[in-house]
Structure 1
Amino acid sequence: MSQNNENLIIAVDGGGSTCRVTICRLDGTILSQAVGGAANLTTHFETAVATIESTVKMAYKTANLSADRTGDDFIYLGLAGAKLDGLATRLKGALKFKDIEVTTDQQITIQGAMSDEDGAIASLGTGSFFVCRQQGKTLHVGGWGMHLGDECSGAYLGRALLRKSLHAYDGLIDHSPLSQNIMQHFGGSPQEMILFARSASPMDYGSFAPQLIAAFEHGDAIAQQIMNDSLAILHNMLDVLEVKATGSLYMLGGLGAIYQKLLRPEYQQICCSPKADAMAGAIILARKKWRKKEEN
C-alpha cells in the first residue's frame, strides 16, 4: 500500500528539553524521525503545541509526505505535564488528526525501559519522576513539576544552585568558586538573578546543572552540599518505593548515570540497562491501541 493511502502512526516523546517525533507504519516500520525543542504542557501550553506541530511537519517532510495528511493519521503523544487536569483535553482540541491519544512521558518511558516486567525507574533529566511496578501494582512518586517537585532533576539542581549562590552573597554561607561564578554570570547582581527566575523554564534552570556536576566532581563545597542533599532525597524515594524488592532499577535521563555512581551499594547492584527508550515505548503503546487497523 502506498504511504499516501495508508494510515500512519505519529509517535511523540515530549519533555522539558526536546520533542522527538517518529512516523511509522501500523506494523512498526519507521519512515522518519525529527527532533524539536521543549514540549512541556505545564511550562507553556501554546509553545508546546507549536513545537509539536513544527516537529511533526519536519518528520513528514523527511518522509516525503504532505503535512496536510494529518486527518489520515493517528498520533500518540507522551508528554511532560499531560497528567494535569484539562491539558490533555486542550491538546486534543488543538491538534487535527484521525485519532489522538495523549499520555504522560512517564508512561512511554516505563513501557520502553521495562516492557511489561516488574522493576523500578528513576528518571532524572530536566524534570524527574520515580516509579515502581511489582506483581501488577504500580506506585508513582514525584513528577509534580518544577515549582513543587521534580526532585533531583536538572531543573531542581539549577534552582538549588542559584539559591545557594544568593545565600553566599548574603553571607549566610561561605562562597565557593562555583557560587562566585554564578554571581559573575548574573553580573554580580541578585536583581538580575531574580529577573531571570521570574520567567525561567525548567530547561533554563537545568542549563546550570552541567556546571554544578563538574564543580561537584572537583570538590567544590557548595556543589557537594547540593548533590549530597539531592542524593539523600533520591535514596529516600527509592526506599519508599521498596525498589530492592523488584530486583531491577533503571536509572534514566541525562543525570541517571551520574547519580547511579553515587548510589548505595545495594542499589548499584540492581541497576540495569533499559530495554528500549521512551520513543520505542510510545510506538509500542500506539500500536497496541491501533493494531486492529493493521488487521483490516
Structure 2
Amino acid sequence: MRHEVVIGIDGGGSQTRVMVSDLNGNILSYAVGGASSVHKDRNAPENVQQTIRMALTMAGCKLDHVKGLCAGIAGYESDQDMEWVTRLTAIEGLDCPKWYVNDSVVAHAGAFMGNPGIVVVSGTGSIILGITEQEIPIKNVDFHHYAASAARFLSYDAVYQMLAGNIHPSDESLVLQIQSYWGVENRDQLRMLAVAGFIKDRQERDKKFGEMAPLITTAAEAGSPLARSVCDEAMKQIMVGVEILGSFFQSDHVPVTGIGSVVNCAYMKSKLINSLQTGINKRYEFHNPQLSAAAGAVLMAFRSLGLLVDSHRVESMRRHPHATW
C-alpha cells in the first residue's frame, strides 16, 4: 500500500528525532539519532540522514512517498547557516518541498499549536521564543541576550564555583561526584586539569560538561547549596529573557512552557513555575506542551502543504506516544 507522508524533524544539539505521518495525522514511525547541529557534532549530516532513512524504513515508505519535510534545527539562526542546514536532508531521491526553521519554532508549534505564547528551550542548547498575538516571532537572541541555562553552562558554573571555594559542607556529596566524574581524587587535581583546559577539543569539552549536568540538577533537588545557586542563577537569566519577550504581548496574561532536559528536571521546572508567578511585566501562566516538538514539525509540514490542521488530525497524532511529552 502506498502512503503519502510528511516528515517532521526535531533536530537538537544532542539528538535528532524524526517523525513520519500520513496526511491524515496517523504517525507511522518515530526514530532517534545523533545530533543535528554541526556546532555540536561534525557528523550531523550523516546523523540526520541516517535517522530519516531509519524512520522511513520503519514506516514502510520510500523516498518518493514524502510530500513535504519540515525540520527544526538547533543552531540555525540566519541565512548564512543555510549551507550546512540544507546538507542535513540532502538525500538523493528525497525531492519533496523542504522547510527549515530553528528548533525552537517546531517546539513552539507543538507546545501551543499556533496560539500565542513563550517557549523556553533549555537542554543541550538554550533559546527563548515568543510568538505574539499578531503572529510575530521574537527570540531573546534577537536582542543579543543569552540565558546561560544550557546543560554545559550549569556544569561549567558549578566547577568554577567549586574551584573558587564557594562550597558548603552539605555540598560534599556533589563535590565527590564531580571529582569522580572527571577522574580525579581531590580539588587540587581538578584544578590542575582545569588549568590545562580540561579537554583540548572544544566540542568534546562542551559535550563532557553537558553530560555532567544531571549531577547538578539532581543535587539541586536534594538541597545542595552549590547546585541550587547555579540553577537559580540560570533561572534568573531565563526570566530576564521571558520578561523581554513578554513585554511585546498585548494581553496581560501570557502562557509559557518549557522544553528540554534542563528546564524540565524537577528542580528547574518547579523554579520556573514559581518564578513565572512573580513576573514583572505580565501575569505569566505555565502550560504543559500540547504536542512534542517533532509533532510540531509535522503540523508545520501539514500547514505548508495547505492541509487543514483540524481536530481529527490532531487526535490521530495524539495516539502516538511520542507525539506528546
Question: What TM-score does the superposition give when structure 2 sets the normalisation length?
Answer: 0.75
Paired residues, what number?
280
Alignment of 1:34-53 (within 5 A): 34-44=31-41, 46-53=42-49
Aligned partner letter, 2:198: L
**Aligned-partner Cα distance in 2 for 1:36–1:159:** 26
What SS does structure 1 have at the residue aligned with 2:287? Answer: coil
Name the counterpart of 2:290: 275
**Aligned-partner Cα distance in 1 for 2:57–2:177:** 43
What SS does structure 1 have at the residue aligned with 2:218? Answer: helix
Aligned partner letter, 2:235: L
Name the counterpart of 1:141: 140
Q: Are positions 1:248 and 2:245 aligned together? A: no
What SS does structure 2 have at the residue aligned with 1:251? Answer: strand
Instruction: Assess if the C-alpha contact under 8 Å between 1:158 and 1:205 holds in 2.
Output: yes
Name the counterpart of 2:19: 22
Which runs of 5 or more structure 1 residues have no equivalent in the other structure?
none
Name the counterpart of 2:113: 115
What SS does structure 2 have at the residue aligned with 1:229? Answer: helix
Q: Are positions 1:185 and 2:181 aligned together? A: yes
Per-residue CA shift, 1:60-109, capped at 9, x if unaligned? Answer: 2212345xx36965332111012244332333246032132221101111
- 1:58–1:284 distance in 2 versus 1, CA, 3 Å: same
What SS does structure 1 have at the residue aligned with 2:252? Answer: helix
What SS does structure 1 have at the residue aligned with 2:98? Answer: strand
- 1:15–1:235 distance in 2 versus 1, CA, 3 Å: same
Instruction: Assess if the C-alpha contact under 8 Å between 1:150 and 1:156 holds in 2.
Output: no
Name the counterpart of 2:221: 217
Per-residue CA shift, 1:262-286, capped at 9, x if unaligned? Answer: 2333459711122211111101111
Range with greater deviation from structure 2 (270-279 or 57-66): 57-66
Instruction: Assess if the C-alpha contact under 8 Å between 1:43 and 1:201 holds in 2.
Output: no
Instruction: Assess if the C-alpha contact under 8 Å between 1:165 and 1:182 holds in 2.
Output: no
Q: Are positions 1:261 and 2:260 aligned together? A: no
Shift of 1:211: 0.9
**Aligned-partner Cα distance in 1 for 2:146–2:152:** 10
Correspondent of 2:235 among 213, 221, 231: 231
**Aligned-partner Cα distance in 2 for 1:282–1:226:** 33
Name the counterpart of 1:90: 84
What SS does structure 1 have at the residue aligned with 2:107? Answer: helix
Q: Are positions 1:9 and 2:6 aligned together? A: yes
**Aligned-partner Cα distance in 1 for 2:60–2:108:** 32
- 1:248–1:72 distance in 2 versus 1, CA, 3 Å: closer
Question: What TM-score does the superposition give when structure 1 sets the normalisation length?
Answer: 0.82
Aligned partner letter, 2:286: C
Alignment of 1:52-201 (within 5 A): 52-66=48-62, 69=63, 74-93=68-87, 95-96=90-91, 97-98=94-95, 99-136=97-134, 137-142=136-141, 149=146, 151-168=148-165, 173-174=166-167, 176-177=171-172, 178-186=174-182, 187=184, 188-193=189-194, 194-196=197-199, 198-199=201-202, 200=204
Per-residue CA shift, 1:219-241, capped at 9, x if unaligned? Answer: 32321221222222222222222
Shift of 1:143: 9.0
Aligned partner letter, 2:127: F
What SS does structure 1 have at the residue aligned with 2:240? Answer: helix
Aligned partner letter, 1:228: D
Correspondent of 1:285 among 300, 307, 319: 300
Identity among equivalent positions (%) equals 20
